[in-house]
Structure 1
Amino acid sequence: MTLSRRNLLRAGALLGLGAVAVGCSTDRDTRAVSAAALGPSKHGGVLRVGIAGGSSADGLDPHHPPTYPDQARVSNLYEPLFLHDVSYTIQPVLAESIEAADHGSTWTLRLRDGVEFHNGKRLDVDDVIFSFRRIVDTKANGAAALGVIDFDGLRKLDARTLRIPLTQPYALFQDELAQYYNAIVPVGFDPAKPVGTGPFRLGTFTPGDRSSFPRFTSYWRGDQPYVDELMIIDFADSEAQLEALLAGEVEAIDNLPAERVATVKAAGANVLVSETGNWTPFTMRVDTKPLADPRVRQALRLVVDREQMISQAWNGQGRVGNDLYAPFDVCYAKQLPQREQDLAQARSLLRSAGQSDLQIELVTSGAVGDGAVAAAQLFAQQAKGAGVDVRVRTVDSATFYGRDYLGWTFAQDYWFTRGYLPQAAQGSLPNAPYNECHWNDPTFNSLICSARAELDVTRRTRLLQDAQQLEYDHGGYIVWGFKNQVDAYSNKVTGFVPDRSLPLSSFQFRTVSFV
């Protein structure tokens, strides 16, 4: 399993607002971008975007996009029912509304009118049913989440209205419909001849190299997209990307290394910095000695100088974390005291646990993400202050994400922005696909189960903050910071804005135009 696939599977599921307020909604941020803030837009030109990664295995399947270039392609060819805006609030896309009934056990979806696929077919409920079934049947990225649908009970009320029963209540079902990889495709969809509703249609595609996408002239969003054609180019490494940007061979690149920000600015190009909920935790197996003792886990949390981590491992591109994920969720337990380095307390906890001379291996890899190895090495230095001997073992991507992945006693990993409940379902429940800490607390599990079925935001917030208290005190994550997303683009284009999710404004190239 490669890093890009890990990133993909973890790409942010967001909190939803629909026809009824059923989600534990995200903070309404004043950074919401108006059309005026994007500057004047005009039509024309070919937008060339350099994306890191890709190979001969690249594809165009909206439900199985395993690399950054694949994610960029599917985000422009296809669309989901809902999607988040730059302020991290769910907005309807192909859907017009969704309403919950029966305590979140039944949902009624209403589709947007007048949406066409690239082949001229009008979007209707049959396409939604087909897409849901395809996602589950092909064990796609969204299969686990959409598996809660009672397919035998689906009811088409009319061409634009679908009643969706669930096998169990899920108050945040809309979150799952907002995953970009849960896109809607027409009945009979063939990934070899891809058809979507996105702002661009397929032109040419060469796996591992480049692909072109002409403007879809019947796109439902008025005069968008602005450019005549989108070209996505794969790059093997960040230096090649940067050289292409500075040479004028591409107009935008993703994942600019933080240490190259000054280079881009000096050349007169633009750096796009987005505050995200992306996190690179240290992962501790709670079922394996010596980390099975919560005192040892707490001691390791207390050896971290979080400000130093941000400054040195991420070149200042991030903000301090507090051993909890999902910082943009209004259910986030902000009331918990900020954990800071306390070497004396760490020593005391280790002494009481009989681990005063603790030696432990920390497994890391450059594949985990920019700054991960530096963070591991810095952690080892900081731990010496508490008498802990951390031996950093750096391995390649194939080894880290190989057969021992999810089995490391003490390691690192990388997650994209998510809401709390979707993230817990991915990594903190006993049946989660990525329960790397092997966390299985009955009280926590019960709280999550109750919260999933709770439509009242206030009551659900209390349940989830109780759950966060348990993870804060006894869990297996050291969440020391949240990393900024750093991208770059030419001064010849406009329309890129900070976004709390994926790179380059979540790859929404429909808003980009030449100046």
Structure 2
Amino acid sequence: MTAIPRSRRDVLRWAAAIAALGATTPLLPACSSTPIATTATSAGPARRGGRLRVGLVGGSGKDSVDAHAPVTHPDEARVMQLYDTLAAYDADFQIQLALAEEITPSADARTWTIRLRQGLEFHNGKAVTADDVAYSLRRITDPKDPKSGAAGLSSVDPNGITIVDPRTVKLVLKAPDAVLLDQLAQYYNGIVPVGYDPKQPVGAGPFTFGSFQPGQQSVFARHANYWRQGEPYVDEVVIIDFPDDTARVNALLGGQVDAIDQLPLGQISVVKAAAGLRVLESETGAWLPFTMRVDRPPFNDPRVRQAFRLIVDREQMVRQVLGGHGTVGNDLYGRFDHCYAADLPQRKQDIAKARDLLRQAGKENLTVELVTASVAAGLVEAAQVFANQAKAAGVTVNVRKVDSGEFYGDNYLKWDFAQDFWFSRGYLPQTAQGSAPDSPYNETHWADPKFLDLLKQARATVDEAKRCALLAQAQKIEYESGGYIVWGFPNQVDAYSIKVNGFVPDKGGIPLTSYGFRRAWLSS
């Protein structure tokens, strides 16, 4: 299968392939005839059967199995078992075709044609057709109930979706969209059948729905007619929610689960020393930002936001919070994006300047509350280290730790000063998720008009060099006055039993090889 270098993570190289389009050359070539590689390791060829038990961080009574509305890690893992997308990212952060055998844009990226593989089947035995693709896109972008991918797919015109034949859909967009393929590959844009009901979830993913207890566990059975050759290997997957880090690690050490995500960095040596366990570490573009609401005091004053970014000692954060398992950040996300603004000066701690900015803003001896939760490895520790660093600037940070249910409850996206976690994304796809007024997770309430205009222009620009020039301007604006503090990019660290095979490092930042349980198999 031919990959497109992703610059979105290299930004889908921001449609670098579109530049080579010619007239109607497929952006991703047809590959239904290409064999899908099966997993094999030193343990021998992959074998079928068994039950894979996985412990994941977070979860609450608000957990979901909706294909288009995942929020927490367990939500994301469930979505990746039940549903498949038209295209998907591999472990090297390249886009590969999935349910689609061909995705072809016009030369101006205004019209896109999607052709499905032959013989695709939903869990209920129904064939996956063009009608289902059209239904899924309309469900995601429904203005009355927009889903997680709606902002990223805002160029899709529901009235411009045409069924060409049972396996082919044509999209005539509202405006040219050079990075539409990147959105079609997002895990929260899975294809569901016409009339889909999330209370009785049916998808075309590797596992079928068994049972679901929000905040506790969910069970999935092997999809016998899954389209990927030989996959999945295990008969059943059990996903167990573990809001508590200690309980999750102990479950692995005690053999109650076969794998866990988000291994606390302080426990790496413990797991490495334990017989029969392995640590899986991946360098990623994932990030754990501090989020400042730009529409409420004190962060509605850009001088305060600038001061807080200068308070952070990023090297110390990476050393102390991540134990060196990560990379220093520069208040920008999308580090694997081909258009990433690597030329902006690396921001360093400057307490004197931070104090001066706070004085200018009339915020000397400022006291703020920082809301945190154990929803990602290192989050709480980062809050504590930042609070200690802030003392030097005369700022008192009162850290308030809440449980995952409260963190993602009614006040989620409303906290004045908080944290969050994000997986690797290219710059434009990430802005669609969190940095625009119509983003589903605009936790900073960022809405800069010039910034938004640059994004709009960039998204419609097919020429990569011109698009990167526009994005360089947008990134500089967010770097200087946005609501995020991006102090670093943590490595993804997970752990699993040696009897589990098929997990490999993954640049995407999603734990356990992007929750790729379809590839996992158990040694005898």
TM-score tier by shorter-chain length is 0.7 to 0.9
1:331 aligns with 2:327: no
The SS at the match of 2:283 is strand
Paired residue for 2:169, among 162, 175, 179? 162
Match of 1:128 in 2: 133
Would the aligned equivalents of 1:278 and 1:416 in 2 still touch at CA under 8 Å?
A: yes
Does the 8 A contact of 2:151 with 2:432 survive in 1?
A: no
CA distance in 2, matches of 1:174, 1:43: 33
Q: Deviations over 1:46-87 (max 9, x none)?
A: 222223344565554322345433332331222111111111
- Give how far 1:495 is off: 0.7
How far apart are the structure 2 equivalents of 1:366 and 1:213?
Answer: 28
CA contact (8 A) 2:284 2:509 kept: yes
State how 1:392-407 maps to structure 2 within 5 Å. 392-397=398-403, 401=408, 405-407=412-414
Q: Is the 8 A contact 1:14 1:90 kept in 2?
A: no
Aligned counterpart for 2:499 among listed residues 478, 481, 492: 492
Aligned match for 1:462, one of 465, 469, 477? 469
Q: CA deviation at 1:460?
A: 0.6
Question: Aligned partners of 1:217, 1:18: CA distance in 2, in Å?
Answer: 36
Q: Does the C-alpha gap of structure 1 residues 189 and 267 become closer, same or farther in structure 2, counting only changes over 3 Å?
A: same
**Relative to structure 1, is the Cα distance of residues 125 and 104 closer, same or farther in structure 2, using a 3 angstrom cutoff?**
same
Amino acid paired to 1:388 = G
Partner SS for 2:340: coil
Determine whether 1:218 maps to 2:214: no
Q: Is the 8 A contact 2:14 2:464 kept in 1?
A: no
C-alpha distance in 1, partners of 2:377/2:129? 42
2 CA distance for matches of 1:312 and 1:266? 22
On the 8 A contact 2:290/2:420 being kept in 1, the answer is yes
User: Do the aligned partners of 2:383 and 2:399 also contact (CA within 8 Å) in 1?
Assistant: no
Given candidates 292, 295, 300, the residue that maps to 1:284 is 292
Is residue 84 of structure 1 aligned with residue 89 of structure 2?
yes
Alignment size in residue pairs:
493
User: Which shifted more, 271-280 or 361-370?
Assistant: 361-370
Specify whether residues 78 and 400 from structure 1 end up closer, same or farther in structure 2 by C-alpha distance, changes over 3 A only.
closer
Cα separation, 2, equivalents of 1:229 and 1:286: 46
Secondary structure (helix, strand or coil) at the match of 2:284 reads strand
- Share of identical aligned residues, percent? 52
The equivalent residue for 2:124 is: 119
Q: Is the 8 A contact 1:79 1:197 kept in 2?
A: yes
- Structure 2 CA distance for partners of 1:286 and 1:487, relative to 1, 3 Å: same
Equivalent position of 1:21 in the other structure: 17
Question: What's 1:377 paired with?
Answer: 384
Which amino acid is 1:234 matched to?
A: D
Correspondence 1:94-493 to 2 at 5 A: 94-101=99-106, 103-137=108-142, 138-268=145-275, 269-288=277-296, 290-350=298-358, 353=360, 355=362, 357-367=364-374, 369-385=376-392, 387-397=393-403, 401=408, 405-493=412-500
Q: Structure 2 vs 1, CA of residues 402 and 440 (structure 1 numbering), >3 Å: closer, same or farther?
A: same
What is the CA-CA distance between 1:360 and the residue it aligns to? 3.4
Q: CA deviation at 1:163?
A: 0.6
2: CA distance, partners of 1:356 / 1:229: 56
When residues 467 and 19 of structure 1 are mapped into structure 2, their CA distance, relative to the original with a 3 A threshold, is: closer
* 1:136-180 Cα shifts (integer Å, max 9, x gaps): 345332234335322222111122211112223222112221121
Kept in 1, the 8 Å contact 2:387–2:399? The answer is no
SS at match of 1:145: coil
1:480 is displaced (CA, Å) by 0.7
Aligned to 2:24: none
Q: Distance in 1 between matches of 2:411 and 2:225?
A: 48
In 2, Cα distance between equivalents of 1:289 and 1:217: 55
Asked if structure 1 preserves the Cα contact closer than 8 Å seen for 2:132 and 2:194, the reply is yes
Q: Distance in 2 between matches of 1:254 and 1:325?
A: 22
Residue ranges of structure 2 left out of the alignment (5+ in a row): 1-7, 20-35
Q: Which residue of 2 aligns with 1:28?
A: none
Which has the higher mean CA deviation after the structures are superposed, 363-372 or 403-412?
Answer: 403-412
**Aligned equivalents of 1:394, 1:194: Cα separation in 2:** 36
Secondary structure at the residue paired with 1:73? helix
Mapped contact 2:437–2:445 kept (Cα < 8 A): yes
User: Is 1:509 matched with 2:514?
Assistant: no
Over 3 Å counting, the alpha-carbon distance change for 1:280 and 1:362 in structure 2 is: farther
Aligned-CA RMSD value: 3.0
**Aligned with 1:75 (options 75, 80, 104):** 80
Whole-angstrom distance in 2 between the partners of 1:283 and 1:448: 21
How has the CA–CA distance of structure 1 residues 112 and 38 changed in structure 2, closer, same or farther, with 3 Å as cutoff? farther
String of CA shifts for 1:11-39, please: whole Å, max 9, x gaps: x999447997249xxxxxxxxx9867755
Q: Which residue of 1 aligns with 2:55?
A: 50
Report Cα offsets for 1:177-198 as digits up to 9, x if no partner: 1121211122333444433222
Alignment partner, residue 30 of structure 1: none
Distance in structure 2 (CA, Å) of the matches to 1:504 and 1:177: 22
- Asked whether the equivalents of residues 311 and 390 of structure 2 are also in contact (C-alpha less than 8 Å), the reply is yes
TM-score by length of 2: 0.85
Q: Which residue of 2 aligns with 1:4?
A: none
TM-score normalized by the length of structure 1: 0.86
Cα shift at 1:289: 5.0
2:22 corresponds to: none
Moved more, 105-114 or 51-60: 51-60
* TM-superposition CA deviations, 1:380-426 (whole Å, max 9, x none): 332333x3222324152566555555454444333332221122123
In structure 1, list runs of 5 or more residues that go unmatched.
Answer: 1-11, 24-32
Asked if the contact 1:20–1:99 (Cα under 8 Å) also holds between the matched residues in 2, the reply is no
How many Å separate the matches in 1 of 2:414 and 2:66?
A: 30
Rounded to whole Å, the distance in 1 between the matches of 2:311 and 2:61 is: 44
Counterparts of 1:288 and 1:119 in 2: how far apart (Å)?
A: 49
Residues 411 and 101 of structure 1: CA distance in aligned 2, closer, same or farther (over 3 Å): same
CA contact (8 A) 1:19 1:99 kept: no
Report how far residue 134 of structure 1 moved.
2.9
